[in-house]
Amino acid sequence: MKVLFAAMVGAGVLLAGPVNASVLTDKGCVKCHDAEKKKAGPAVKDIAAKYKGKGEEAALLAKLKDGKGHPKSKESEADLKAAIAEMLK
């Protein structure tokens, strides 16, 4: 599964700082993503390197909602936006 959601290390910390646990852990992102290394999906650091600072938040949101390059998410748009913001901070 190529997943665009990010996640964190099991300790609940992203490379950039503390994680919004209610979004990333509670929504299951950590099942497929790790902060530093590839799991079923890419590492958070790799996602951030690809998209951070490039105005790609809308593109990532569309991929998560539409299931293009990532399993279609059942989460609310607000939760998806929060997860994207957390990954790219």
* Separation CA 8–CA 33 (nearest Å): 7
* Separation CA 7–CA 15 (nearest Å): 10
Which listed CATH number (1.20.140.10, 1.10.760.10, 1.10.10.10, 1.20.120.550) goes with 13-88? 1.10.760.10
pLDDT in tens, 50-71: 988 988 899 899 999 998 888 9
Helix (H) or strand (E) holding 49: helix 44-51
pLDDT in tens, 9-65: 332 333 334 444 568 788 888 899 888 999 999 998 999 999 889 888 998 999 999
Domain map of the chain by residue range? 13-88
Q: Is the pTM of this model over 0.75?
A: no
